[in-house]
Amino acid sequence: MDRTDFVTNALAMLVVVGVITLIGNTVGYDAGIVESIPGIVLIIAIGIVSLYLAREIPLELPSFAYAIFIAMVLALPFSPTQEVFLRYTDRISFLATATPILAYAGLSVSLQMDRLKQIGWKLVVVAVFVFFGTFFGSAIIAQTVLSFQGII
């Protein structure tokens, strides 16, 4: 897919996701659709830039990281954009943006059913221990350092 094709199709998909998010935001968090539109437009704009940057910049960085980073810069306490940016994006609930991702993720999982069946139960057991190990490994180190610093 060439660059122009990618940008137009990705933008179309971002608009679709934006509409789904707006509706979910209304159903789950009682936000008005119309007053949430400026926020979703800002989100779509940052989204397309992030997808584009991840594709063009030869770093192993996910577009998700670019999106966090750009929004963070716009919302920093000393950014002149902070007040306006937060006022509009605040109308979109954090959890409302997560639900569509997981719906797409659930649907796409079917593509990998056969591969999972081949993998075998032993690797699934090991993976569960990997989850525990990563989670508690990080949490215990964080706990130690934070209490050493006197933050908690």
Residue 145 binding another protein, by CB under 8 A? yes
Work out the end-to-end distance of the chain between its first and last CA atoms, rounded to an integer number of angstroms: 50
Q: Identify the CA nearest to 49 among candidates 14, 2, 101.
A: 14
Residue 120 binding another protein, by CB under 8 A? yes
d(CA 30, CA 124): 40
Residue 33 binding another protein, by CB under 8 A? no
Q: How many residues bind another protein, per CB under 8 A?
A: 110
Residue 4 binding another protein, by CB under 8 A? no
Residue corresponding to tokens 């949490």: 139
Helix (H) or strand (E) holding 135: helix 121-149
CB of 59 to another protein, least distance (A): 6
Residue 14 binding another protein, by CB under 8 A? yes
Residue 84 binding another protein, by CB under 8 A? no
CB of 31 to another protein, least distance (A): 11
- 34, 80, 83, 94: which one contacts another protein (CB under 8 A)? 94
Asked if residue 21 lies in contact with residue 97, where contact means CB atoms within 8 angstroms, the answer is yes
Per-residue H/E/C for 95-116: HHHHHHHHHHHHHHHHHHHHHH
CB of 46 to another protein, least distance (A): 5
Estimate to the nearest angstrom the gap between the alpha carbon of 45 and the chain centroid.
15
- 32, 35, 41, 90: which one contacts another protein (CB under 8 A)? 90
Site string for another protein, 56-75 (x = CB under 8 A): xxxxxxxxxxxxxxxxxxxx
